[in-house]
Amino acid sequence: MNNFTYFVPTKIHFGKGQIKHLSDLKESGSKVLMVYGVGSIKKTGLYDTAVKILTDSGLKIYELAGIEPNPRIETVRKGAEMCKTESIDMVLAIGGGSTIDCAKVVSAAAKYDGDAWDLVLNGGLIKEVLPIYSVLTLSATGSEMDKFAVISDMGKNEKWGTGSDLLKPKMSILDPEYTFTVSKKQTAAGTADIMSHTFENYFTKVEGAYMQACFCESILKTLIKYGPIAMEEPDNYEARANLMWASSFAINGLLSCGAEVEWCVHPMEHELSAFYDITHGEGLAILTPFWMDFALNENTAAKFAEYGRNVWGIDKDADDMTIAKEAIACTRDFFKRMNLPSTLGEVGITDEHFDTMAEKIKVRCSKGYAPLTKEDIISIYRAAL
Ligand code: NZQ
Ligand code: ZN
C-alpha cells in the first residue's frame, strides 16, 4: 500500500428530515446563491421547502437556475458574475452532479480574477472559494463529498474535470427520499456511474491495499443488489439510501487511498459527452465491458477472477481466465438488465470523431491499470460501436 493523505471536510447530514440543516448556512453569512437544474426541484416541492428554511433563517436568496446536464461554462460564468456583483457569501447547490459541479466552479470563479475556464483546465489555480453547500437529489457522481467538478464547453467540444480540496463541500444533505422521483433511466445511469468510479479504483496494480479492495467489492455488491430494486420500486427507501451512500463513498478518496491509478474509462466517456452530449452513466455502461475485454490478459486475469469470485459469487472450480471472462459477461448482462445501452450506435455515436477524441486523452489514459495508446483507445471505441 502506498503512502496517502485522506482529507474529507464535508459534514454529511443523512436521512429523512435533514433538510432542516439548511438553517446552518447562516454560519457562512447572509447572502446565498441557490443553484438548481431545469425543473425537478420545483416539481417535487423541494424548492419551496428550501426557500422557506433559508428565508426563515434570515438568508437572502439569489438564484442561478436551469443548470444543464453536462453543465456549461457559460452558466458558470453567469453565476460567478452574480456572486461578484452581489457580494454573495456562499453557494448552495440543490440537484444532481451537474448542479453541484456548476456550483463548485462558480464558488471558485467568484474568487478568481480571470476566466472560469482557466480553473476547469487547471485546478491548481483554485486558491480560494466561497463556502459550498449541497442538497443531493440524484445518486451518481459523488460530487456531494468529493473534490471534482466536470464542466463542458460545447462550442469547442471540450469537457474536462477539475479538482481541488477546496471544492469539497462544507456540508451536504443526503435525504434518500429526494431521489424517489429520479427516472428509471437516470437511476440506471447513476448506478453505472457509481460502479465505474469503483472499478476505476479497484483495478489497481498497487499491491496490498486489501481493505480498499474489500470496500470496492462491498460497494459493487450494494449497487448490484439495490440498483434493480430502485428501478422497480422508485420509493423503496432502503434501496435509495444504499445507492446514495454508495455514491458518496465510491469517489470521496477512500477507495483510492494508497492504491492510486489513473482513470481510463472516465476520460474516454467524457469525450463522448463532449461531442454528443450523452448521459455520462450511459456512456460508461457502454464502454466499461469493452474496456474490461481489452484489459484482460494473462497478467490481469487473477484480478478479474477475484472480482468474479468476490462480487459475482462465481465459485466454479475453473482457472482464473475462465472466471475472469464470466465476470465480464456478468457485468455486461447487469447493465443490459438495467436497460442501459450497450453500444455507441444506440446513442447515436459514429466513428467520425474517434481520432480526435483519442488524441486528446491519450496521455491521460497511458498510465492506467491497462495503459492505453491512442490506437488502443480507438479500438475500444470501435469495438463498442
Ligand atoms: O435539471 P433537473 O430538472 O434537476 O433534472 C435532472 C437532470 O435532467 C434530473 N434529476 C436530478 N435529480 C432529480 C432529477 N429528476 C427527478 N427527480 C430528481 N430527484 O436528472 C437529470 C440528470 O441530472 P445530472 O445532475 O446531470 O446527473 P448526474 O448527477 O449524473 O451528473 C452528471 C454530471 O456529473 C459529471 C458528469 O460528467 C456529468 O457532467 N461527473 C461529475 C463527477 C464529480 N463531480 O466528481 C464525477 C463523475 O464521474 C462525472 O464525470
Ligand atoms: Zn463518473
pLDDT of residue 319: 95
Q: Is the CB of 72 under 6 A from ligand 1?
A: no
pLDDT of residue 288: 98
Amino acid sitting at position 325:
K
Q: Is the CB of 251 under 6 A from ligand 1?
A: yes
Measured distance CA(115)–CA(109) in Å, rounded: 7
Q: Is the CB of 96 under 6 A from ligand 1?
A: yes
Q: Is the CB of 136 under 6 A from ligand 1?
A: no
CA of residue 190 to ligand 2 center, whole Å: 8
Consecutive 10-residue averages of pLDDT for the chain (385 residues): 95 98 98 97 97 98 98 98 98 98 98 98 98 98 98 97 98 98 98 98 94 97 98 98 98 94 95 97 98 97 97 93 98 98 98 98 94 97 98
For residue 352, how many other CB atoms are within 10 A of its CB?
9
Nearest CA to ligand 1 atom 33: 98
Question: C-alpha angle with apex 96: 94 to 98, nearest 5 degrees?
Answer: 100
pLDDT of residue 353: 98
Nearest CA to ligand 1 atom 14: 182
Contact 222, 242 (CB under 8 A): yes
Instruction: Please give the helix or strand (H or E) that residue 287 lies within, else none.
Output: helix 280-295
pTM of the full predicted structure?
0.98
Q: Is the CB of 95 under 6 A from ligand 1?
A: yes
CA of residue 141 to ligand 2 center, whole Å: 5
pLDDT of residue 376: 98
Measured distance CA(12)–CA(293) in Å, rounded: 38
Nearest CA to ligand 1 atom 49: 141
Nearest CA to ligand 1 atom 5: 40
pLDDT of residue 264: 95
Amino acid sitting at position 3:
N
pLDDT of residue 260: 83
CA of residue 70 to ligand 1 center, whole Å: 8
pLDDT of residue 48: 98
